[in-house]
Chain A
Amino acid sequence: MRQALCDLPGHELVKRLRRKEISAVEILESVRGRIEAVEGRAPTTEPYSAQPADLERVHAYITLSLDRARQQAEAIDRALAAGEDPGPLAGVPLAVKDIFCVRGTRSTAASRILQDFISPYSATPVARLEQAGALTIGKVNLDEFTFGSSNESSAFLPPPGNPWDPRRVPGGSSGGSAAAVAAGEATISLGTDTSGSIRQPAAYCGVVGLKPTYGRVSRYGLIAFASSLDCPGPVTRDVTDAALALKVMAGPDPRDATAANLPVPEALGDLDQSAPKLRIGLSPDYFRLQYPEPSTGGLSERPVDPEIEAAVRRAADLLSDAGHTIVENVPMPNTRYGVPAYFVISRVEAASNLHRYDGVKYGYRYPGEVADLRELYRRTRGVGFGLQPKLRILMGMYVSGEEYEKDYYQRALRVRTLIRRDFERAFDPHGDFRLDCLLTPTTPSTAFEIGALYGDTVSMQYVDLLTVPADHAGVPAVSIPAGLDGRGLPIGIQFIGPDFSEVRMLQAARAFEQATEGDEWRRIQPRVVAAASAGV
């Protein structure tokens, strides 16, 4: 089967481009064709009611910038013709989650309050990806201000659909990113992960989602949700692309004090150069979901989807066969508190980060008559923010108030320390487990239907139960595709490593990828892609 250029991984495109078998403009045109075939009507902030056709389309992009991408592509082709180095990601189509500022483009955060905001500057990771030759196809949809796990809370509707089944969610908040990459509407995407927002949609859409170590990639230009958790990272077709994209965007940044002052490992450019034998852990705390019942406060437990558990166990067996050591029964007892602690910490930071949207300086301002400044604020924020930001502001204000701060916020910070300690113990090179990484499911279930959970904020949050601990701890984690469930929906498995161990962690993921190269499921295309390829 001959694959369309828009369905190839980035490293393959770069290779062919450098051999002058293809041009950057050809790549771009392939993506343009795919977008025309699968994207559907453009999302807007107008009142929305779903049409039958909407449930067959991807709706990944809020804003397309194909003209800008065309100029970038032509520049790359000229550079190639002139014998110049066009960069490590030359000609690779990039979709930027619309939570990043890109100079001269609309940067909406999928919110009414920024729907017409044109950024005067570019985010550091975007600038670095463009510098490396990536073609910026456009800005993709997300949950409003990244507040969600299904992409349904965007102010720009229709919401993105899952390319494997557009009646289902692509996950979130980087839903547009994962959907675009899965559907061939981009080759890589820049997303953000605060509680799982890169890995969970990657798992739902059958692509790779990498959340680097906190501080590995600059946050400058990332419109903040929860500043102590937000992590930019790539969504890609395979592990090699994830490493390449990370290599380009990582590294110190004088504009971000929390960006780590560490060199970027050269090995990200060639993961296969060495294949170390790794110690890989399995934890029972990642095969069951423990969560407080909202009604009683008691702890409930249910297993993760058996098909997902089976996929993780199979991966462990394959890695063991490949010579790696599997360590069973690694205790991660504080996993169960990840979501409640996240609930508090993220909302305190979010409420504060949303203060600046007041209608005074930029973005939406209530256009009607107002009596005073207070009313201007109230009306601007009342109309400009959707339900999710409002809920988060209310909750954040509450738990950081002087009288509750000790009971909620300070306590959540202590829980966060405990979660971090679980990882330190598992990865301690002199400890009982001495792990190079943990192997876990990414999500408790596969993609759910649009509308199934939306509105139930608490249940929606438990979708992140297995991804949020790595955000709390700041450690790197990656979700990779590991098969399809009985309904033909992608299953994701997750590797989690110690601080700044991206190379080893990705080598583990790559080992799985190599062990399953011949698997039948790898040749199955998402439904919208198959339909487009068949010319439907």
Chain B
Amino acid sequence: MTDFEIIVGLETHIQLNTRSKIFCSCKADSWGDPPNTNICPVCTGLPGVLPVLNRTVVEKAVLLAVAMHAESVQPISYFARKNYFYPDLPKGYQISQYDEPLARGGYLDVPMPDGAVRRVTIQKLHLEEDAGKTVRAKGRRLIDFNRCGVPLIEMVTGPDLRSADEAAQYLIRLRQLLRWLEISEADMEKGHLRCDANVSIRPMGLNYLNPKTEIKNVNSIDAVRQAIQTEVERQKREVSAGRPIEAWTLEWDEDLGALHKMRSKETEADYRYFREPDLLPLLVDSGMRKRILGAMVELPLERRARFVMQYELPEYDAEILTEERSLSEYFEATLTARPGEAKTISNWMMNDVMRMLRERSVTASRLRLRPEHLAAIIGMVEGKLITTNTGKELLEKVEESGRAPADIVAAEGLSQVSDDSRLRSLAEEVVAESPDQLKAYRNGKTSLIGWFVGQVMRKTGGKAEPQRTRAILEDLLSE
């Protein structure tokens, strides 16, 4: 049987997280709001209204274009009208960039789990407005215009992805980047990040492109992976049976895990694009570009590499700590307070701080436990002022109360007991109270040392300095 190469390109639509819509001042995010509550004459296309471009949309798009290494962020770009009839398209045309988009070219280097890196090229990045939503109920069409005019970026990749897994990895990295740049919530389930996949196959080793099919309506990264996998298997079966692949548009049925044919490509409409006369050309001059890029931050993959280089963190740690921007900033802020202890801090964060984040469903920037608190706690543990266990409990106490760790330690008397004479008298008490265990120990069951340490711990409320306690006990027990 022939070995096939899989060719996938992705067309993504990214909903920007601006406060207002792209051409009017209505609230952009309507998640959970009742239908038709965030609308006005402009976004519902009343007679006589005009669009006015939201500059924040442009700023966010320029950030993304630069982060995607765009070859050019165009100093001048244009909006066009894409004309078609649909009930949830109130003007009968969608305002979208077309032949002169905001940015051309670019790429994202996507690390794959096997260590390889796939460079995914970007053909163009453009701005457009979203349409409304049609819901069918009891033989009626109900239209919700809330989503009309929500700002979208359309970004199309080259045919560079070679498997369903690679497509999923690309989306994971894109989602990470969008959240990192704080330009989109990038939640696929909520439609903040939407993806159509173009899929074709060819015999391995050849380099022409076969007809492709387009898969629409995939609402999660897992669904993208499954849908592409399903389509690849179908295409392999068709080709192996000697049947041609036709340029269909397919729809992914999440519930059935199956693809349905929506339409053949040749019936595609003529949108009669022309320049939108109601908007001026979009100018991004060097001054504006400079101002926008003033807000640019180090990108996730760069930061990951730097954490490995600069702090000698293991790849694994660096990956985890840079999954999300505020987490990586939290790490570095903690490190500023305790320079040279990168791995120790990383361990605390990956074991404890991230558990707290998961339990509370917040990002690191939202914790009351600030990086300086974490640094102070680590400092007390390292300096043996408190035990590790006390340190871990302190994390929670600081988070609950917002008080400084040192204050809590002082107020609750959590300081480690390391005074030799006090430890020795407590140890003597324990030995005296435990004749059976003493006998067993002296008969060779030395593993009981842990039990004795535990008894001393109990008497101190967990504050006994463990190594010293152990040494004193060994001394007493062996007498």
Contact, CB under 8 Å: B50 / A355: no
Q: Which of B46, B51, B85, B280 has the most CB of A within 10 A?
A: B46
* CA of A414 to CA of B81, assembled, Å: 19
Residues of B47-68 contacting chain A, CB below 8 A: 47-53
A119 neighbours in B (Cβ, 8 Å): 46-48
Contact, CB under 8 Å: B53 / A257: yes
B85 neighbours in A (Cβ, 8 Å): 355, 358, 377
A257 and chain B: residue at smallest CB distance: B52
B42 and chain A: residue at smallest CB distance: A255
A109 and chain B: residue at smallest CB distance: B47
* CA of A349 to CA of B272, assembled, Å: 11
Residues of A176-229 contacting chain B, CB below 8 A: 219-224, 226-228
B87 within 8 A of A: yes
B311 within 8 A of A: no
* CA of A117 to CA of B50, assembled, Å: 18
A397 neighbours in B (Cβ, 8 Å): 272
A229 and chain B: residue at smallest CB distance: B277
Q: Which of A219, A356, A401 has the most CB of B within 10 A?
A: A356
Contact, CB under 8 Å: B48 / A360: no
Q: Known contacts being A223-B48, A257-B50, A360-B143, is A373 close to B87, with CB within 8 Å?
A: yes
* CA of A362 to CA of B145, assembled, Å: 14
Contact, CB under 8 Å: B278 / A258: yes
A85 within 8 A of B: no
B93 neighbours in A (Cβ, 8 Å): 352, 355
Residues of B68-95 contacting chain A, CB below 8 A: 81, 83, 85, 87, 90-93
B279 within 8 A of A: yes
Chain A interface residue count, CB cutoff 8 Å, equals: 43
Range of interface residues on chain B? 20 to 34
A352 neighbours in B (Cβ, 8 Å): 81, 83, 92-93, 272, 274
B44 neighbours in A (Cβ, 8 Å): 361
Contact, CB under 8 Å: B52 / A255: yes
B45 within 8 A of A: yes
B41 neighbours in A (Cβ, 8 Å): 120-121
* CA of A228 to CA of B52, assembled, Å: 15
A450 neighbours in B (Cβ, 8 Å): none
B407 within 8 A of A: no
Contact, CB under 8 Å: A121 / B52: no
A153 within 8 A of B: no
Residues of A37-74 contacting chain B, CB below 8 A: none
Expressed in whole angstroms, the minimum distance between the Cβ of B57 and any Cβ of chain A is 13
Cβ contact of A256, chosen from B52, B91, B270, cutoff 8 A:
B52
Contact, CB under 8 Å: B278 / A355: no
Contact, CB under 8 Å: A120 / B92: no
A410 and chain B: residue at smallest CB distance: B274
A297 within 8 A of B: no
A107 within 8 A of B: yes
A385-407 to B contact mask, C-beta < 8 Å, 1/0 = 00000000000010011100100
Contact, CB under 8 Å: B277 / A257: no
* CA of A296 to CA of B308, assembled, Å: 78
A255 neighbours in B (Cβ, 8 Å): 49-50, 52
A120 neighbours in B (Cβ, 8 Å): 41, 46
* CA of A220 to CA of B272, assembled, Å: 25
A123 within 8 A of B: yes
Spell out B's residues near A (CB within 8 Å). Answer: 41, 44-53, 81, 83, 85, 87, 90-93, 141, 143, 270, 272, 274, 277-280
* A and B contact pairs by CB, cutoff 8 A, 5 listed: A223-B48, A228-B277, A258-B277, A362-B46, A373-B141
